[in-house]
Structure 1
């Protein structure tokens, strides 16, 4: 299986001299196409920096990041913006919907920003897939938190991205709604062949992934295939003790 994303010896340092802080240290990881990977670690382990570098939202201090065969370090800021808009999808904890736009308008926003028209059939299918076919004309204020996150997932998928990056996508949701959203993400992998990289602090959320990547002190310290919530929680407890 070919890689969707490759990080080779990626380090990220903030500041200079004695005040420098290394958020990532020589991280090398490969994410397979059609895989669902969760990224976990104690607070300050480098999870957010990892996601930002992998997604082209931030540039590493050293090392290389490739999306498919594209080396992100060789791209200008304009080209990076185009790449994120056309080849990556994003789902955030806070939904980030435009309050004045309807469900359909929010979903198609990335295409409109790119000057492209949405395929009516694909739009209808995505809205149906996320269970909002009866809410297509509603605005965010008329939707529950779970429904808003479903809109965000459809928006992330509308451009048929190579990778969807999810940053704590269930952090603002109750337990039952979170499970519905995670099931939807799992289905996009199983049924659509989507690649997902998800940062989470929740062992239950991580159990929906194929693999869990554990970070501590800016380094990859462990991986787990076929995770269960109990196994992930146990590893996080031990990892937290190790990190202290």
Structure 2
């Protein structure tokens, strides 16, 4: 992102969600994005992922400028080059695990790489659940299906929007460990919005947002350090 601003509404009703944000996210890294409610976290993710257009500024994925692409071009780009994991698992109830994972490929008309699919199923611990349907899986297993679906297209970046928000503590740790392993072992790039200092501690770097600005960053975060920084976000100085 280069000097990105996002304003919703016009005139007196205008709300600035992002204010001249400039940041580069490292390839092959795990970045967490934190901030209080209304700080611009979700808008940051939506603009970075091409789900929303900035009011001003430039958003690039690799060398590709997203802000000037048509909706059709953005749809194709997101399908081929970006993976998504949300708090809601967004699985199709009538499809099996394998069918849910390969759905992005089928929508794109791309052949399924069977060895890669088998490897992804094994990595997320679902090789013995390939023919099950979502209702036959736990919440943690369903989120693992969502992660596998995000990885199957070999995306350049995976965006997570509170991916552990609907999970209990132990299951959340399993999912976060899996995301960490995709970075360390597959070289995947992961960008995750979260409100949880423990979740953020799995990342390499934490970005802190307040009032639409990136106000701080933290490398090698610990849960205690992240929680302490969050309590002081209201006192930031530009």
Give 1:73 deviation, angstroms.
Answer: 1.7
Distance 1:240 1:148 in 2: 36
Distance 2:235 2:194 in 1: 19
The 8 Å contact of residues 215 and 236 in structure 2, kept in 1 or not, is answered as: no
Distance 2:44 2:24 in 1: 13
Distance 1:99 1:241 in 2: 46
Give 1:137 deviation, angstroms.
Answer: 0.2
- The unaligned stretches of length 5 or more in structure 2 are none
Q: 1:37 and 2:31 equivalent?
A: yes
Distance 1:180 1:240 in 2: 32
Q: 1:235 to 1:227 in 2, by over 3 A?
A: same
Give CA deviations for 1:172-223 in whole Å, capped at 9, x if unaligned: 0000000000000000000000000000000000000000000000000000
- Which of 216, 230, 233 pairs up with 1:222? 216
Match of 1:211 in 2: 205
Matching of residues 145-164 of structure 1 within 5 Å: 145-164=139-158
TM-score, normalised to structure 1, is 0.96
Match of 1:49 in 2: 43
Q: CA RMSD in A?
A: 0.9
Give 1:75 deviation, angstroms.
Answer: 1.1
- Which of 94, 103, 119 pairs up with 2:97? 103
How many residue pairs get matched?
A: 237
- The unaligned stretches of length 5 or more in structure 1 are 1-6
**3-state secondary structure, aligned to 1:57:** coil
TM-score, normalised to structure 2, is 0.98
Match of 1:17 in 2: 11
- Which of 67, 73, 78 pairs up with 1:73? 67
